[in-house]
Chains A and B, each alone.
Chain A
Amino acid sequence: MKNKPEHENTETASLSSPPKETVTLHINGEAKQLEVEPWTSLLDLLRDHLNLTGTKKGCDHGQCGACTVLVDGKRINSCLTLAVMKDGTKITTIEGLAKDGELHPVQQAFIDHDAFQCGYCTPGQICSTIGLINEGKAKTLDDIRDLMSGNVCRCGAYTNIVKVVQEALERSQQR
């Protein structure tokens, strides 16, 4: 796929921005076709183009995890992902978790365990928890701490976040 429009001659093209790319993303179950500049991160696309501001921008360098979303069920940092590269994928953000007015069990567990203070990291923590359960690799508390180390909580709610993940894991094993 080469997306340099042929109608633009080279001289004018060199003075203007590179062309936008067309992408289709299936976001929270809805197909969205969008025109994006190639350098648009998936995070900026969600927040600035679709007004899905639940996904947060923290460090914008893949260090804090506030931007964690699920792409085809896997947790990734949306800040280090070009939207154009995810053409055709299924993306789940915090906005897509509640069903029929009921919170996702992991969302409810964050409330039940008081697993946040300011809440800025929470959408990323929740998506990361769901990704961790999908992966099925965490067995012990130390595994949970290690496999959640990509999500920083500056309020320090870690103790209760670990409880949420532990409960969510146990629930997934009962299913």
Chain B
Amino acid sequence: MRSFTYTRANDVANAVDEVSAEKESKFIAGGTNLLDLMKIQVERPSHLVDITRLALDTIEETAEGGLRLGALVTNADTAYHEQVEKRYPLLSHAILAGATAQLRNMATDGGNLMQRTRCYYFYDTDTPCNKREPGSGCSAINGYNRDLAILGTSEHCIATHPSDMAVALAALEANVRVTGKAGERVIPFSEFHRLPGDTPHIDTNLKPDEIITAIDLPAKGFADHYTYLKLRDRASYAFALVSVAAALDLDGDTVKEARVALGGVAHKPWRIPEAEALLKGKPATRENFQKVAEAYVQGAKGYGHNDFKIELAKRAIVRALLQAKEMEAKL
């Protein structure tokens, strides 16, 4: 690891000042992704601002009837929080599908969103990677790409965002609260992460001086009909090949509202509201779910090893929606 200077921030304004004072500075909280990348010198900050002592570690009710997850609440404390388990079980299940107990005890909710969108070549400093060294080229497009993206890719990058939590937050239409030099703002979840385009080294729309303070969950948690389906090469501690966060609001057998977000297939959690809307007012049947699945993979592109993900994603969407629908039968 390269040497760096260290400061512990005592409030949000101080943290923003500290991170703005030096160009190559970064916030650190759980550190599970940042320190991992610093050890292999993919991340090389000259200054770290420790934000773990900021008062952003609580889960509170919002005026709109939702929950506000403080940015520093750990992934474990979020997943096992009584109100999250009861009102947002989709989020609990998604968090617990990711990483290990140790990592979930360390990683924070804000940090989960800030983990790097990545691929094996991003970690392999002996190979070109536009995300790691802009302009050096993409080793994955013509290389080994079994785990990589099929949607929203560019000729510069086909990396995937590995978070499970973020897939559930996309489906739930969470909002990300941030503070920077210019004050506070709220970023809708769908606009938080970026597609690679010709700047794959930038993962999010957060500005360099901005800090995440909280993630707001809207009142509607789809607790009656939801599923988080994660398909991977082993049953625990592996990134998704394809994952689906599915949620349904049903009136009998008729769909009032449907949400579908995919993980493991793109540079960001993948959601198509127009495809979800195909179900509105329609019976919750396999045939109708298949139409949604077809719409989700319109324009999907495989790169060889990951071609199978297109069919896998379609089948996973149908299965996840069927599971979400049939929950009552299982309980």
Binding site for B on A (CB under 8 A): 1-4, 17-19, 21, 37-39, 41, 60-62, 65, 68, 74-77, 80-82, 84-85, 128, 131-132, 135, 137, 145-150
Contacts and interface: CB of A to CB of B under 8 A. Distances in A.
A2 B7 contact: yes
Interface residues of B, number: 31
A77 B81 CA distance: 22
Contacts of A60: 39
Nearest to A13: B5
Given A39-B3, A128-B102, A135-B101, A150 B237 contact: yes
B36 interface: yes
A80 B101 contact: no
Contacts, number: 96
Given A39-B3, A145-B236, A62 B103 contact: yes
B128 interface: no
Nearest to B100: A150
Interface string B55-86: 00000000000000000000010001000000
A89 to B, nearest CB: 11
B167 to A, nearest CB: 19
B39 A76 contact: no
A84 B50 CA distance: 10
Interface string B1-45: 111111110100000000000000000100110011011000000
A150 B102 contact: yes
A21 B35 contact: no
Contacts of A81: 31, 35, 106
A146 to B, nearest CB: 5
Contact of B106 (A21, A77, A84): A77
Contacts of A137: 80
Interface string B166-178: 0000000000000
Give 6 closest A-B pairs by Cβ, nearest first: A150-B100, A38-B6, A149-B236, A1-B8, A149-B237, A18-B5
Given A1-B7, A65-B100, A145-B236, A75 B35 contact: no
A100 B36 CA distance: 38
A82 B3 contact: no
Given A62-B36, A80-B36, A82-B28, A147 B7 contact: no
A21 B4 CA distance: 12
Nearest to A17: B3
Nearest to B7: A2
B101 A150 contact: yes
A146 B31 contact: no
A82 B35 contact: yes
A1 B6 CA distance: 9
Contact of B39 (A61, A68, A128): A61
A60 B39 CA distance: 9
B102 A77 contact: yes
B212 to A, nearest CB: 18
A102 B50 CA distance: 39
Interface string B93-116: 000000111110110000000000
A38 B106 contact: no
Contacts of A41: 35
5 contacts: A65-B100, A76-B106, A77-B102, A131-B105, A149-B237
Contacts of B127: none
Contacts of A128: 101-102
A82 B105 contact: no
A80 B7 contact: no
B48 interface: yes
B101 A62 contact: no
B254 interface: no
B52 interface: yes
Contacts of A21: 6
Contacts of B235: 145-146
Given A76-B102, A128-B101, A146 B236 contact: yes
B3 A18 contact: yes
Contacts of A135: 76, 80, 101
Contact of A38 (B5, B36, B80): B5
B89 to A, nearest CB: 15
B31 A85 contact: yes
Contact of B10 (A1, A62, A132): A1
B237 A80 contact: no
Contacts of B3: 17-18, 37-39
Contacts of B102: 62, 65, 68, 75-77, 128, 131, 150
